Amino acid sequence: MHVNHDPADPPAETIAFDDFLCVDIRVGRIVSAEEFPEARKPAYKLVIDLGPGVGICKSSAQICARYGIEDLPGRLVAAVVNFPPRQIGKFMSEVLTVGFADGDGEVVLFEPDHDVPLGSRLF
């Protein structure tokens, strides 16, 4: 599967709307962040509160280039909550925190521009 990182790439192949609905993306608030020195690429270990329906989940996020660890707690983020957990070194990443690549290819977190209830689903 090719993941678009270049804004000049054409759109991915067309999917049905029901396929989109299968991806469960929720908003959460970062509760805590810590260094992840064992990761192959610079990353943080995040603990995210995804609301009462999903709960508290862990995520490994390669966002070190654009975010200081002290700036992450309290920030709203979006995460895919229905992928299977993924073992990253000794850490189990339970959700995929999502973002966009900036002009340097570094991840910029996706965040709502207004406060929304934790666990709200993207549609």
The domain that holds 66 is classified in CATH as 2.40.50.140
DSSP 3-state assignment of 20?
Answer: helix
Rounded Cα gap, residues 28 and 116, in angstroms: 9
Lowest mean pLDDT among 6-15, 28-37, 104-113, 114-123: 6-15
Task: Give the rounded distance of the alpha carbon of 90 from its chain centre.
Answer: 19
* pTM recorded for the entire structure: 0.92
96: nearest Cα among 50, 37, 39, 51: 50
* Domain hosting residue 83, numbered range: 17-109
Q: Is residue 8 part of a domain?
A: no
Rounded Cα gap, residues 44 and 73, in angstroms: 12
* Residue range 98-112: mean pLDDT, rounded: 94
- Return the percentage of the chain with pLDDT > 70, whole number: 97
How confident is the model at residue 78, as a pLDDT? 98
Q: What is the mean pLDDT of the chain?
A: 94
How confident is the model at residue 21, as a pLDDT? 93
Exposure string of 92-103, with b = 16+ CB inside 10 Å and e = fewer, is ebbbbbbbeeee
Domain count, the chain: 1
